[in-house]
Amino acid sequence: MTTLSIASWNVNSVRLRAVPLIAPFVASCQPDVLCLQEIKCQSHEFPEKAFREMGYEHFHVRGQKGMHGVAIASKYPLQDLGDEAICPREEARHQRVGVKGIELHNFYIPAGGDEPDIEINPRFAHKMDFLACTRDYFAARDTRNEKIVILGDFNIAPREHDVWSHKQLLKVVSHTPGEVEALNAMLAAGDFIDVAREVIPEPEKIYTWWSYRSKDYRASNRGRRLDHIWVTPPLKEAALARGRDGFRIYEPERAREKPSDHVPVMLDLLL
Protein backbone atom coordinates (compact mmCIF):
# COMPACT_ATOMS: atom_id res chain seq x y z
CA MET A 1 0.00 0.00 0.00
CA THR A 2 1.08 3.56 -0.68
CA THR A 3 0.07 6.85 0.88
CA LEU A 4 -1.11 9.76 -1.24
CA SER A 5 -1.22 13.04 0.67
CA ILE A 6 -3.50 15.75 -0.71
CA ALA A 7 -3.56 19.28 0.70
CA SER A 8 -6.02 22.11 0.10
CA TRP A 9 -5.30 25.78 0.75
CA ASN A 10 -6.91 29.09 -0.13
CA VAL A 11 -3.71 31.12 -0.43
CA ASN A 12 -5.24 34.50 -1.34
CA SER A 13 -2.72 35.28 -4.12
CA VAL A 14 -0.26 32.59 -5.18
CA ARG A 15 2.32 35.01 -6.57
CA LEU A 16 2.43 36.93 -3.30
CA ARG A 17 2.70 33.85 -1.10
CA ALA A 18 4.46 31.13 -3.11
CA VAL A 19 7.95 31.73 -1.72
CA PRO A 20 7.40 33.18 1.78
CA LEU A 21 4.37 31.09 2.80
CA ILE A 22 3.76 28.06 0.60
CA ALA A 23 7.37 26.93 0.16
CA PRO A 24 8.07 26.55 3.92
CA PHE A 25 4.81 24.63 4.36
CA VAL A 26 5.68 22.26 1.52
CA ALA A 27 9.21 21.76 2.85
CA SER A 28 7.84 20.83 6.26
CA CYS A 29 4.71 18.82 5.37
CA GLN A 30 5.49 17.45 1.90
CA PRO A 31 2.02 17.04 0.34
CA ASP A 32 2.09 14.92 -2.80
CA VAL A 33 -0.71 16.96 -4.33
CA LEU A 34 -1.34 20.61 -3.46
CA CYS A 35 -4.68 22.14 -4.41
CA LEU A 36 -4.87 25.93 -4.24
CA GLN A 37 -7.76 28.35 -4.37
CA GLU A 38 -7.98 32.10 -4.94
CA ILE A 39 -4.69 32.18 -6.80
CA LYS A 40 -5.58 35.62 -8.25
CA CYS A 41 -3.63 35.31 -11.48
CA GLN A 42 -4.07 34.22 -15.06
CA SER A 43 -2.94 30.73 -15.97
CA HIS A 44 0.22 31.91 -17.73
CA GLU A 45 1.16 33.99 -14.68
CA PHE A 46 1.22 31.03 -12.29
CA PRO A 47 4.70 30.86 -10.66
CA GLU A 48 5.50 27.37 -11.92
CA LYS A 49 9.25 27.82 -11.40
CA ALA A 50 8.78 28.35 -7.66
CA PHE A 51 6.68 25.20 -7.41
CA ARG A 52 9.19 23.15 -9.39
CA GLU A 53 11.78 24.20 -6.83
CA MET A 54 9.42 22.82 -4.17
CA GLY A 55 9.48 19.43 -5.90
CA TYR A 56 6.37 19.57 -8.08
CA GLU A 57 6.56 18.58 -11.73
CA HIS A 58 2.93 18.44 -12.84
CA PHE A 59 0.45 21.32 -12.96
CA HIS A 60 -3.15 22.06 -13.83
CA VAL A 61 -4.09 25.73 -13.59
CA ARG A 62 -7.37 27.55 -14.18
CA GLY A 63 -6.54 31.18 -13.69
CA GLN A 64 -8.44 34.42 -14.01
CA LYS A 65 -7.18 37.97 -14.13
CA GLY A 66 -6.97 39.53 -10.68
CA MET A 67 -9.44 37.27 -8.88
CA HIS A 68 -10.64 33.74 -8.18
CA GLY A 69 -8.58 30.98 -9.81
CA VAL A 70 -7.68 27.41 -8.84
CA ALA A 71 -4.52 25.38 -9.35
CA ILE A 72 -3.13 21.92 -8.64
CA ALA A 73 0.56 21.12 -8.26
CA SER A 74 1.48 17.45 -8.08
CA LYS A 75 4.46 15.14 -7.73
CA TYR A 76 2.52 12.61 -9.81
CA PRO A 77 1.20 12.95 -13.38
CA LEU A 78 -2.16 14.67 -13.72
CA GLN A 79 -4.78 13.67 -16.25
CA ASP A 80 -6.89 16.56 -17.51
CA LEU A 81 -10.46 15.29 -17.19
CA GLY A 82 -12.03 18.48 -18.53
CA ASP A 83 -13.42 21.31 -16.48
CA GLU A 84 -17.14 20.72 -16.25
CA ALA A 85 -19.33 23.81 -16.67
CA ILE A 86 -20.41 23.80 -13.04
CA CYS A 87 -20.01 27.50 -12.35
CA PRO A 88 -23.06 29.49 -13.52
CA ARG A 89 -20.69 32.28 -14.63
CA GLU A 90 -17.43 32.29 -16.55
CA GLU A 91 -15.32 32.20 -13.41
CA ALA A 92 -12.29 30.05 -12.59
CA ARG A 93 -13.71 28.28 -9.55
CA HIS A 94 -13.44 24.58 -10.37
CA GLN A 95 -11.07 22.09 -11.95
CA ARG A 96 -11.09 18.32 -12.39
CA VAL A 97 -8.09 16.03 -12.82
CA GLY A 98 -7.15 12.40 -12.46
CA VAL A 99 -4.26 11.40 -10.21
CA LYS A 100 -3.22 7.89 -9.12
CA GLY A 101 -6.60 6.48 -10.22
CA ILE A 102 -8.60 9.13 -8.33
CA GLU A 103 -10.88 11.80 -9.77
CA LEU A 104 -9.97 15.01 -7.96
CA HIS A 105 -12.13 18.15 -7.92
CA ASN A 106 -10.76 21.45 -6.62
CA PHE A 107 -13.44 24.02 -5.74
CA TYR A 108 -13.50 27.68 -4.81
CA ILE A 109 -17.16 28.27 -4.01
CA PRO A 110 -18.28 31.93 -4.01
CA ALA A 111 -18.20 33.69 -0.65
CA GLY A 112 -21.62 35.26 -1.17
CA GLY A 113 -21.22 38.83 0.04
CA ASP A 114 -22.67 40.20 3.25
CA GLU A 115 -26.45 39.88 3.00
CA PRO A 116 -27.93 36.33 2.92
CA ASP A 117 -30.81 37.25 0.61
CA ILE A 118 -30.91 36.23 -3.04
CA GLU A 119 -33.43 38.98 -3.84
CA ILE A 120 -31.19 41.88 -2.85
CA ASN A 121 -27.69 40.39 -3.02
CA PRO A 122 -26.56 39.11 -6.46
CA ARG A 123 -23.38 37.66 -4.94
CA PHE A 124 -25.40 35.51 -2.56
CA ALA A 125 -27.69 34.44 -5.40
CA HIS A 126 -24.61 33.42 -7.37
CA LYS A 127 -23.37 31.34 -4.44
CA MET A 128 -26.66 29.51 -4.11
CA ASP A 129 -26.80 28.92 -7.88
CA PHE A 130 -23.26 27.51 -7.79
CA LEU A 131 -24.19 25.10 -5.00
CA ALA A 132 -27.31 24.00 -6.87
CA CYS A 133 -25.36 23.42 -10.10
CA THR A 134 -22.73 21.40 -8.25
CA ARG A 135 -25.41 19.34 -6.51
CA ASP A 136 -27.10 18.62 -9.84
CA TYR A 137 -23.79 17.68 -11.47
CA PHE A 138 -23.05 15.00 -8.88
CA ALA A 139 -26.68 13.87 -8.64
CA ALA A 140 -26.59 13.07 -12.35
CA ARG A 141 -23.67 10.71 -11.79
CA ASP A 142 -23.54 7.38 -10.01
CA THR A 143 -20.65 8.09 -7.66
CA ARG A 144 -21.16 5.07 -5.42
CA ASN A 145 -18.52 3.07 -7.27
CA GLU A 146 -16.22 5.92 -8.29
CA LYS A 147 -13.10 7.04 -6.44
CA ILE A 148 -13.67 10.77 -6.11
CA VAL A 149 -12.18 13.41 -3.84
CA ILE A 150 -13.66 16.89 -3.77
CA LEU A 151 -12.04 19.60 -1.75
CA GLY A 152 -11.38 23.29 -1.48
CA ASP A 153 -12.71 26.48 0.01
CA PHE A 154 -16.44 25.82 0.16
CA ASN A 155 -17.09 29.08 2.05
CA ILE A 156 -19.64 27.37 4.30
CA ALA A 157 -19.26 26.16 7.87
CA PRO A 158 -22.07 23.59 7.97
CA ARG A 159 -22.17 22.36 11.56
CA GLU A 160 -22.82 23.96 14.92
CA HIS A 161 -19.26 23.36 16.08
CA ASP A 162 -17.72 24.55 12.82
CA VAL A 163 -18.07 28.15 14.01
CA TRP A 164 -17.11 30.02 17.14
CA SER A 165 -20.76 30.88 17.93
CA HIS A 166 -23.60 29.02 16.28
CA LYS A 167 -26.25 31.38 17.63
CA GLN A 168 -24.47 34.58 16.67
CA LEU A 169 -23.66 33.40 13.14
CA LEU A 170 -27.02 31.94 12.11
CA LYS A 171 -27.75 35.07 10.08
CA VAL A 172 -24.18 35.58 8.87
CA VAL A 173 -23.21 34.43 5.38
CA SER A 174 -21.29 31.12 5.55
CA HIS A 175 -23.43 29.64 8.33
CA THR A 176 -27.04 30.46 7.43
CA PRO A 177 -29.59 27.62 7.35
CA GLY A 178 -30.08 28.05 3.60
CA GLU A 179 -26.40 27.65 2.84
CA VAL A 180 -26.04 24.70 5.19
CA GLU A 181 -29.02 22.98 3.58
CA ALA A 182 -27.57 23.57 0.11
CA LEU A 183 -24.16 22.20 1.08
CA ASN A 184 -25.70 19.16 2.73
CA ALA A 185 -27.70 18.53 -0.45
CA MET A 186 -24.46 18.66 -2.41
CA LEU A 187 -22.88 16.19 0.01
CA ALA A 188 -25.84 13.82 -0.29
CA ALA A 189 -25.97 14.10 -4.09
CA GLY A 190 -22.53 12.54 -4.42
CA ASP A 191 -22.80 10.17 -1.45
CA PHE A 192 -19.81 12.05 -0.06
CA ILE A 193 -18.16 11.55 3.32
CA ASP A 194 -17.01 14.63 5.24
CA VAL A 195 -13.61 13.34 6.33
CA ALA A 196 -12.97 15.96 9.01
CA ARG A 197 -16.11 15.14 10.94
CA GLU A 198 -15.56 11.41 10.59
CA VAL A 199 -12.25 11.65 12.44
CA ILE A 200 -12.98 14.71 14.64
CA PRO A 201 -16.57 14.31 15.83
CA GLU A 202 -18.60 17.09 17.38
CA PRO A 203 -18.73 18.75 19.84
CA GLU A 204 -15.04 19.43 19.22
CA LYS A 205 -14.59 22.70 17.35
CA ILE A 206 -12.80 22.76 14.00
CA TYR A 207 -11.68 25.97 12.29
CA THR A 208 -9.73 26.58 9.07
CA TRP A 209 -10.31 30.34 8.69
CA TRP A 210 -9.89 33.38 10.91
CA SER A 211 -10.77 36.90 9.77
CA TYR A 212 -8.07 39.46 9.04
CA ARG A 213 -10.13 41.88 11.13
CA SER A 214 -8.92 40.26 14.33
CA LYS A 215 -5.57 41.66 15.49
CA ASP A 216 -4.87 38.53 17.53
CA TYR A 217 -6.75 35.66 15.94
CA ARG A 218 -5.65 33.18 18.60
CA ALA A 219 -6.85 35.35 21.47
CA SER A 220 -10.29 35.92 19.96
CA ASN A 221 -10.40 32.52 18.20
CA ARG A 222 -13.47 33.47 16.18
CA GLY A 223 -12.90 30.89 13.51
CA ARG A 224 -14.97 28.96 10.99
CA ARG A 225 -14.48 25.66 9.14
CA LEU A 226 -14.74 26.78 5.53
CA ASP A 227 -12.25 24.38 3.94
CA HIS A 228 -13.27 20.78 3.34
CA ILE A 229 -12.15 17.43 1.97
CA TRP A 230 -14.86 14.92 1.01
CA VAL A 231 -14.55 11.44 -0.49
CA THR A 232 -16.92 8.94 -2.06
CA PRO A 233 -17.62 5.56 -0.38
CA PRO A 234 -14.98 3.61 -2.36
CA LEU A 235 -12.34 5.85 -0.75
CA LYS A 236 -13.75 5.83 2.78
CA GLU A 237 -11.45 3.11 4.06
CA ALA A 238 -8.42 4.75 2.45
CA ALA A 239 -9.34 8.15 3.90
CA LEU A 240 -10.01 6.92 7.43
CA ALA A 241 -7.25 4.30 7.66
CA ARG A 242 -5.00 6.51 9.76
CA GLY A 243 -7.84 8.04 11.75
CA ARG A 244 -7.25 11.48 13.15
CA ASP A 245 -3.55 11.30 12.32
CA GLY A 246 -4.45 11.10 8.63
CA PHE A 247 -6.34 14.41 8.53
CA ARG A 248 -4.49 17.52 9.59
CA ILE A 249 -5.25 21.21 9.91
CA TYR A 250 -2.17 23.42 9.93
CA GLU A 251 -3.32 26.24 12.19
CA PRO A 252 0.20 27.69 12.77
CA GLU A 253 0.24 28.85 9.13
CA ARG A 254 -2.24 31.56 10.14
CA ALA A 255 0.38 33.04 12.50
CA ARG A 256 3.00 33.64 9.80
CA GLU A 257 3.89 37.09 8.52
CA LYS A 258 1.41 38.25 5.85
CA PRO A 259 -0.58 34.99 5.97
CA SER A 260 -3.67 33.88 4.16
CA ASP A 261 -6.79 34.05 6.32
CA HIS A 262 -7.21 30.32 5.59
CA VAL A 263 -4.89 27.51 6.70
CA PRO A 264 -4.06 24.29 4.83
CA VAL A 265 -5.91 21.05 5.43
CA MET A 266 -4.36 17.74 4.37
CA LEU A 267 -5.58 14.17 3.99
CA ASP A 268 -3.50 11.00 3.73
CA LEU A 269 -5.11 8.37 1.51
CA LEU A 270 -3.82 4.85 2.13
CA LEU A 271 -4.15 3.29 -1.32
Q: What is the pLDDT of residues 24-60, one digit of tens each?
A: 999 999 999 999 999 999 999 999 999 999 999 999 9
CB count, 10 Å around CB of 185?
A: 16
Q: Which pLDDT does position 84 carry in this prediction?
A: 72
Residue type, 190: G
> Which positions ≥6 away from 237 have C-beta within 8 Å?
270
Tell me the domain boundaries of the chain: 3-270
**CATH T-level assignment (fold) for domain 3-270:** Deoxyribonuclease I; Chain A (3.60.10)
Band of residue 213 on the pLDDT scale cut at 50, 70, 90: confident
Q: Cα dist. 55→11, 27, 36, 50, 185 in Å?
A: 18, 9, 16, 9, 38
Report the share of the chain in percent with pLDDT over 70.
Answer: 100
pLDDT of residue 85 exceeding 80: no
Rounded to 10 degrees, the C-alpha dihedral 72/207/195/252 comes to 60
- Give which of 46, 75, 50 is closest to 61, Cα–Cα: 46
C-alpha distances out from residue 231 to 145, 152, 181, Å = 11, 12, 19
Taking only the tens place, the pLDDT of each residue in 114-155 is: 999 999 999 999 999 999 999 999 999 999 899 999 999 999
What burial letters (b/e) apply to 118-138, b meaning 16+ CB within 10 Å? beebeebbbbbbbbebbbebb
pLDDT bucket at 214, cuts 50 / 70 / 90: confident
3-state SS, residue 175:
coil
Length of the chain: 271
d(CA 100, CA 103): 9
CA distance 138 to 121: 26
